[in-house]
């Protein structure tokens, strides 16, 4: 079992933005969703875990080894698909993956070739292996990004906002690929897409303003809101009244009217009906409260 322990990690950028505020988190094997709005600090945290950025304070341990003091200890066990992995030279998918494999220290030529071809097959890029990567679609590039992240069979895999900009079909294909990686390692999926976390992750945390504001299993989060979520269709113009009177979690347009969800521990009256909570409702509730 792998364990990643993050203790009191802080980072203030030169412009004064506090990206991480004494953040602590423990993660073990499986797919872990790190959910938070834009600017919450997810990318800053992912870059620190990948050793690309230094915290001002705090510690990161991977399997009891201090990663900040000893960054090389993690390098061999880490696969990283950053948010902005997108610039490619004019070389084929095979050649580029092979080159990255050499950089990652896969020195044995025959087993390297075997692994490169297997990963191209796993990411559904085998047929395109001789095509230049810069001609790939967004979805193919992201799948290539997964292939490079999986080189060397890493024990910690970090994917930062991987489906941003993908169309629904590509996003689905990408998520299927992630779900097949296996449970024997830690996979951290950083995203603002609640649905991706719900579909893929066994454990999750919600991050806001540089801190972890909640942590648990998606199903437990949803169960915690049973009986406390209420819905009603209202006129768009009435929204401010409802915002003032109730704890409004979301307001979604539906056939020209607004479907509102509110949080209330008892029946709020006013024609509200009980609603079945979704992870999104819990997410809005948590962001609302913090």
Give residues 156-175 in contact with ligand ATP (rule: CB under 6 A): 161
Closest separation in Å from C-beta 172 to ligand ATP: 21
Measured from the Cβ of residue 90, the count of other Cβ atoms closer than 10 Å reads 9
Closest separation in Å from C-beta 17 to ligand ATP: 4
Closest separation in Å from C-beta 284 to ligand ATP: 17
Beta strands 247-254; 229-234: pairing state? unpaired
**Site stretch for ligand ATP (CB under 6 A), options 1-9, 37-45, 167-175, 231-239:** 37-45
CA 63 to chain centre: 21
Task: For residue 43, state whether it binds ligand ATP (rule: CB under 6 A).
Answer: yes
What region, left, alpha or beta, does residue 124 occupy, with left being phi > 0 and alpha being psi -120 to 50 degrees?
Answer: left
Q: What angle do CA 229, 231, 237 make, to 5 degrees?
A: 130
| Residue 7: Cβ-neighbour burial (10 angstroms; 0-12, 13-18, 19+) | middle
Gap between the Cα atoms of 114 and 112, Å rounded? 5
Give residues 200-239 in contact with ligand ATP (rule: CB under 6 A): none
Closest separation in Å from C-beta 123 to ligand ATP: 24
Give residues 14-33 in contact with ligand ATP (rule: CB under 6 A): 15, 17, 19
Using the minimum distance from each CB to ligand ATP, give the nearer residue, 52 or 65.
52
Gap between the Cα atoms of 265 and 243, Å rounded? 17
**Site stretch for ligand ATP (CB under 6 A), options 11-19, 122-130, 172-180, 223-231:** 11-19
Task: For residue 38, state whether it binds ligand ATP (rule: CB under 6 A).
Answer: yes
Residues found near ligand ATP in the complex (CB under 6 A): 13, 15, 17, 19, 36, 38-44, 161
């Amino acid at each position: 079992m792998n364990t990643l322990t993050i203790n009191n990690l802080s980072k203030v950028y030169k412009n004064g933005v506090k990206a991480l505020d004494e953040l602590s988190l423990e993660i073990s094997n499986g797919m872990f969703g790190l959910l938070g709005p834009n600017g919450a600090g997810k990318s800053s945290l992912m870059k620190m875990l990948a050793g690309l950025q230094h915290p001002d304070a705090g510690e990161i341990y991977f399997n009891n080894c201090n990663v900040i003091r000893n960054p090389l200890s993690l390098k061999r066990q880490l696969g990283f698909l950053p948010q902005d992995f997108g610039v490619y030279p004019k070389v084929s998918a095979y050649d580029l993956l092979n080159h990255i494999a050499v950089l990652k220290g896969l020195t044995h030529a025959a087993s390297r070739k075997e692994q490169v071809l297997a990963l191209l097959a796993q990411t559904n890029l085998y047929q395109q292996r001789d095509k230049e990567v810069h001609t790939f679609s967004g979805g193919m590039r992201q799948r290539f990004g997964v292939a490079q992240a999986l080189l060397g069979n890493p024990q910690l895999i970090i994917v930062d906002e991987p489906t941003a900009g993908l169309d629904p079909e590509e996003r689905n294909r990408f998520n299927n690929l992630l779900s097949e990686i296996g449970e024997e390692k830690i996979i951290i999926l950083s995203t603002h897409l609640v649905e991706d976390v719900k579909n893929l992750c066994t454990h999750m945390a919600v991050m806001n303003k540089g801190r972890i504001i909640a942590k648990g299993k998606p199903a437990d989060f949803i169960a915690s809101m049973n009986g406390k979520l209420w819905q009603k269709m209202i006129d768009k113009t009435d929204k401010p009244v409802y915002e003032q009177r109730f704890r409004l979690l979301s307001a979604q347009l539906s056939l020209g009217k607004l479907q509102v969800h509110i949080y209330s521990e008892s029946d709020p009256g006013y024609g509200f009906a009980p609603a079945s909570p979704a992870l999104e409702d819990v997410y809005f509730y948590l962001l609302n409260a913090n």
